[in-house]
Amino acid sequence: MKLLFDFLPILLFFIAYKMSGIYVATAVAIIVSCVQVGFCWYKFRRIERLHLITLLLIVVLGGATLFLHNTLFFQWKPTIVNWLFAITFLGSQFIGHKPVIQRMLEGNVNLPTYIWRRLNISWAIFFLMMGIANLYVVYHYDQDTWVNFKLFGMLGLTVLFVLVQAFYLARHIEEKSHE
């Protein structure tokens, strides 16, 4: 259910785009993201960092798109988000005691340290490449293709990457000791 909730702004953006165009879709994304963050605050009295960063970028870049009537601002948002993730994952290799991916998953998975580091670097590279792929589509294809890529291409590539990661991890998972 949480995945659907996180995915809601993208889905409603896509539907609004198909029905009314990029500017209405951008406004819908801004409104839905504000409601999403507001709901999280109301229900849990906390806001996840991902939602906050996404909201900030949607409001700033979406607002610039609407105000300046230039879609490039909003089209850059997935790249900026992915590159921020890449920087975070890469930075965690050198700052702190554990890579980000280990902090996220170690409660469920037990892996050797070198595997956590490889996994973390692979996610950093993935996010970097997703940002580049978004820009490639933005500058080499029409807006309809970009919207379809944003929903289906980026989601599909992420699912594929997660599956590849799962197969890789399956070979390296250590049994947790039951003491």
The token pair that represents 104 in the structure block: 């996220």
Residue 29: its pLDDT value, please?
Answer: 94
8 Å CB contact between 26 and 11: no
8 Å CB contact between 152 and 118: no
8 Å CB contact between 119 and 165: yes
With tokens 């595997």, the residue in question is: 115
The token pair that represents 46 in the structure block: 């906390």
Q: What is the pLDDT of residues 90-120, one digit of tens each?
A: 999 999 889 999 988 888 888 888 999 999 9
Written as one string, the DSSP assignment of 55-78 is: HHHHHHHHHHHHHHT-THHHHTHH
8 Å CB contact between 124 and 69: no
Residue 4: its pLDDT value, please?
Answer: 65
On whether the pTM is more than 0.75, the answer is yes
How many Å from the N-terminal Cα to the C-terminal Cα in the chain?
Answer: 34
Residue 85: its pLDDT value, please?
Answer: 93
Residues of the chain with pLDDT under 50: 177, 179
8 Å CB contact between 74 and 63: no
Q: What is the pLDDT of residues 51-69, one digit of tens each?
A: 788 899 999 999 999 999 9
- Could you count the other beta carbons within 10 Å of the beta carbon of residue 147? 18
Residue 50: its pLDDT value, please?
Answer: 77
Residue 49: its pLDDT value, please?
Answer: 81
